[in-house]
Amino acid sequence: MKKATAWVLICVMLAITVLSGCGKSEESSAGKDSSGKQVTIKYYNWDNETQAQSTKKYIDQFQEKYPNIKVQHISLVPGNSLESLKKLDVLLTSGEKVDVVMFPSISELDTRVANKVLAPLDEFYAKDNVKPEEEYFVNPKFEGKYYGIQNNITTNFVLLNKDALDEAGLPVPKLGWTWDEFREYAKKLNKGEGTEKRYGAYFHNWPMYANPDAQIYMQHPFLTEEGKTNFDSPTYTYFFNLRRAMEKEDKTAKPYADVIGAKLNYRAEFFNQKAAMLLSGSWMISEIGDTQKFPHTFKTAVAPVPVQKKGDSTDMFMGGNYMSVGASSEHKQEAYQFMRFMSTNLTDARAELPGWKKGDAKPLAERLIGQNKDLYDVDSLMYTLFGAGIKALPPSKNSISYAAALDKILTDGFSMFILDNKKVEDVQKWMVDEANKVIEKNKK
């Protein structure tokens, strides 16, 4: 009898041990490393105060699902992606254990891949049986390997002061309108003088505003698909001249010298009614209704980006922000889990359109509008985001690490043209020559 009792006790203890082992196995997959310790991963980005609230929701929801993976959020330079990347580079080269990092563009991501500070994602995709092209609109690759997950998709559009449009008797433009028509709209929307003036349009100092045709309607902003510079494209001649004409002749666009000299805020220029039209993008959807940051009462309409001439293709480049795993990370699997969770999460944490193809973005757009429908021309917004003719260009086959150098050539070239009053032909030749030097140097 005693032997039987002892045997039963042994069986019970064995069962408890097995069950306990199963529990530990599940915990390990949810965030403990091989030693059974809790895992903490660091996530670096440039969140401002508003964006940080969204990120906190992401992290809270993720940690609820994976309670043994803790996420430490670090905003390097709030509201400034470029300065944040400078700080990030110091961390990456100093041996800091960087787990997850957000990039504002593929070119910035590619630069870090070329410097071998990011880890490929192929093994994690394979383990999850994930086919990236079926999941995301754009999948950054470098030398045949995947290095980034698209968190959100950025589509460009034009914001228009609907009250000003109505006052001028102008309809909201439709897909296929031209930059010449944009110029005419700016003339009719121009109003006032001096400090009270409302310009017809505002162009910021980003490269996108030097030639939107190349930045939006070409697969790569700086290169042809054959890998040559696109700075010799006639679209540069056309748009440089358009910018000069609107600024100097029509006086419908704020002078570029003022934009860079006063370090103007493009949001403030539009919402403070210093400009009636603004080329911008989908990150602005929620900001239209954010009257705490920029108080305003006028309604905003949205139109597709103009094309150079009638009949031009309206398929556009759709970029976004991309997350990558640091090569120095000791928790790459957990970092990948967090990136996948963020990119496929369409709950109330999300404040931007997803780069995930399988998610329905329309309810998200409606949620971003929220209770402030009186500030949106909703029909024009939905048409511009989801209309039948709104299509994405296929991703470029070019993956380069020197985009920043080409970006600088464009910025310098445009400055020479608009500030120094040089001939567009001379500036374009200079840009092509400089770009060819960079391209040849990086072929070696």
How does residue 21 score in pLDDT terms, banded at 50, 70 and 90?
very low
Using left for φ > 0, alpha for ψ between -120 and 50, and beta otherwise, residue 24 falls in: alpha
Q: What separation, in Å, do the N-terminal and C-terminal C-alpha atoms of the chain show?
A: 84
Higher pLDDT, 166 or 18: 166
Q: What are phi and psi of 32, to 5 degrees?
A: -100, 140
128, pLDDT greater than 90: yes
Per residue in 380-435, pLDDT (tens digit) is 999 999 988 888 888 788 878 788 899 999 999 999 999 999 999 999 999 999 99
Contacts of residue 43, Cβ cutoff 8 Å, sequence gap at least 6: 55, 59, 71, 72, 73, 74, 99, 100, 101, 102, 338
pLDDT at 36: 58
357, pLDDT greater than 70: yes
Helix (H, G, I), strand (E, B) or coil at 89: helix
**pTM for this predicted structure:** 0.77
The mean of the pLDDT values for the chain is: 90
Fold for 156-317+378-443, please state it: D-Maltodextrin-Binding Protein; domain 2 (3.40.190)
Contacts of residue 208, Cβ cutoff 8 Å, sequence gap at least 6: 156, 215, 216, 279
The residue with tokens 């990086």 is 442
Per residue in 80-102, pLDDT (tens digit) is 998 999 999 999 888 899 999 99
Q: Which CATH superfamily is domain 37-153+320-359 in?
A: Periplasmic binding protein-like II (3.40.190.10)
How does residue 11 score in pLDDT terms, banded at 50, 70 and 90?
very low
pLDDT at 370: 82
Q: Which of 127, 122, 111 is nearest to 149 (CA)?
A: 122
pLDDT at 32: 56
pLDDT at 2: 35
Beta carbons within 10 angstroms of residue 228's beta carbon? 13
Mean pLDDT score, 180-200: 96
| Per-domain residue ranges of the chain | 37-153+320-359, 156-317+378-443
- Which of 105-119, 297-311, 334-348 has the lowest average pLDDT? 105-119
Q: What is the DSSP letter of 395?
A: P
Per residue in 53-72, pLDDT (tens digit) is 999 999 999 999 999 999 99
Strand partners, 160: 277, 301
Q: Enumerate the H helices of 190-303 as residue ranges.
A: 212-217, 234-244, 256-261, 266-271, 285-288
Answer yes or no: are the C-beta atoms of 179 and 242 closer than 8 Å: yes
pLDDT at 444: 65
Mean pLDDT score, 251-279: 97
pLDDT at 145: 94
Strand partners, 74: 44
Q: What is the DSSP letter of 88?
A: H
The residue with tokens 């403030």 is 268
135, pLDDT greater than 80: yes
Answer yes or no: are the C-beta atoms of 189 and 164 closer than 8 Å: yes
Fold: same for 37-153+320-359 and 156-317+378-443: yes
Which tokens in the block code for residue 101?
Answer: 């990092």
Answer yes or no: are the C-beta atoms of 84 and 76 closer than 8 Å: yes
